[in-house]
Amino acid sequence: MTPFGQRLADALDRRGPLCVGIDPHPGLLTAWGLGVDVDGLTRFSELCVEAFGTTVAVVKPQVAFFEAFGSAGLAVLERTIAALTEAGALVLADAKRGDIGSTMDAYARTWLSDGSPLRSDAVTVSPYLGFGSLAPALDLAAGTGRGVFVLAATSNPEGAQVQTARVADGRSVAQVVVDEAAARNADAVGLGSVGVVVGATLAEAPDLSGLHGPILMPGVGAQGGTAEDVRRLAGDHLRAVVPNVSRDVLRHGPSVTELRAAVARTVEGFAFLQN
């Protein structure tokens, strides 16, 4: 398979620089006139696939909201991933997995192996058991042409307690994460396949100059991040940025027409990322 970084760069060029989340939390299911049950989850996901599958570069199902319904919810997630893939969108499973040894290997196989029913184009992972603990996911992703987005400097205020702490050489923990991801991208042709997550609501970002990989920026819209925040934090690396919007788009459902219109407006607001 063509490496994820190359496929991502192509998708962003063709469909515009945007990742839209599928976040079927109970309040949103209710707002869409759906039941807080597997039937509601199924219909919500079907509408999202119809709205985003052929229009958005990256679609990010929030795994926890599917897991909340047990095995039936995971079956809906399997079908949603397959339908989005068939429609041509890149699927980023927002699972935020992080562990050690055989457990991390199992997480990696779940989201990144060719034979898994939950296989996605990329997955989010947490490095806070040490960046080296992510090796099973990073190695498998490299072998199957998939991607990994590593949490580096997140939007939630609690994250600063860990992410802004300093290591012995004076770097912040977030900077160490970015630098380790950069090392994994060192031999990539074009955009690398190991990305980082940097919140759009931050006052400042880690130094991203050597990353050579994609930068997922959540926090845009309902959480207060703006296009100008994205421009400020990304600096000279705008072509690598993938803004992530969820609530500001999903609040326009359940109308597929309105969801697509919200996507179009959002993409237009980030047109500067493609200049």
Looking at the annotation, which residues are catalytic? 96
Beta bridge partners of 225: 220
Which one-letter amino acid corresponds to residue 192? G
DSSP 104: H
Cis status of the peptide bond prior to 254, with omega within 30 of 0: yes
- Which is it for the CA torsion 225, 13, 122, 210, positive or negative? negative
Q: Which two tokens stand for residue 187?
A: 């031999």
Residues 94 and 221: their CA atoms lie apart, in Å, by 18
Residues 270 and 2: their CA atoms lie apart, in Å, by 26
3-state helix, strand, coil split of the chain in percent (to 5) is 50, 15, 35
